[in-house]
Structure 1
Amino acid sequence: MFWTIVGWVVFGLIAGFIARAVVPGKDDIGLIMTIVLGIAGSVVGGWVLGFFTVGFNGFQPAGWIGSIIGAVIVLVVYNKVTGRKRRLRS
């Protein structure tokens, strides 16, 4: 059980960092929010990919690609809701 939680944290951290790198602009969120972003992205990615492939079957975490796509979706929604994303000025 302990290693499962550690795996989710590491998985969430990596997916969250990749999502933050993909979404343009500066993100002012810390390490814990990056982990939460990645874990939530895995859940959202599982729902989205499950909906378009095999049908929605409840909670299904996604693989790497689905988790990153889900984390990008979660990050964009988070930035829209909180208004935290600052636009880059040219």
Structure 2
Amino acid sequence: MGIFTWIVLGILAGALAKWIMPGDQGGGILATMVLGIVGAFVGGYLGKLIGIGSVQGLNFGSIFTAAAGALVVLFIYSKINTKK
């Protein structure tokens, strides 16, 4: 996959993760994009580790796997970045 595909997949995965897990995690579109791209890598790694597949191109399975990884990254980010 090319860098453009990773960016598009990251934007989709990050936006989907923010939609599923709303809240005040901070950051704007850039943070969402970065978390989504990191989440795509995490989702691909975890998917390959447990045997359900990895991120392969821009399709529904890859978006689902990347969004699941982005949810994990977003959850960890929200726990680290608490403003209390």
For 1:25, which of 23, 26, 29 is the aligned residue? 23
- The alpha-carbon deviation at position 65 of structure 1 amounts to 0.9
**What corresponds to 2:67 in structure 1?**
68
Asked whether 1:81 is paired with 2:83, we answer no
- The alpha-carbon deviation at position 8 of structure 1 amounts to 1.8
Identity, % of aligned positions: 33
Unaligned runs of 5+ in 2: 57-61
- The alpha-carbon deviation at position 18 of structure 1 amounts to 0.6
User: Aligned to 1:67, what secondary structure does the other structure show?
Assistant: helix
**Distance in 2 separating the partners of 1:12 and 1:54:** 20
Aligned length: 79
- The alpha-carbon deviation at position 71 of structure 1 amounts to 0.1
Unaligned runs of 5+ in 1: none
**Distance in 1 separating the partners of 2:5 and 2:52:** 25
**What corresponds to 1:35 in structure 2?**
33
TM-score (norm 2): 0.78
What amino acid maps onto 2:24 in structure 1?
K
CA RMSD across the alignment = 2.4
- The alpha-carbon deviation at position 14 of structure 1 amounts to 1.1
Larger relative CO (CA 8 A, sep 6+): 1 or 2? 2
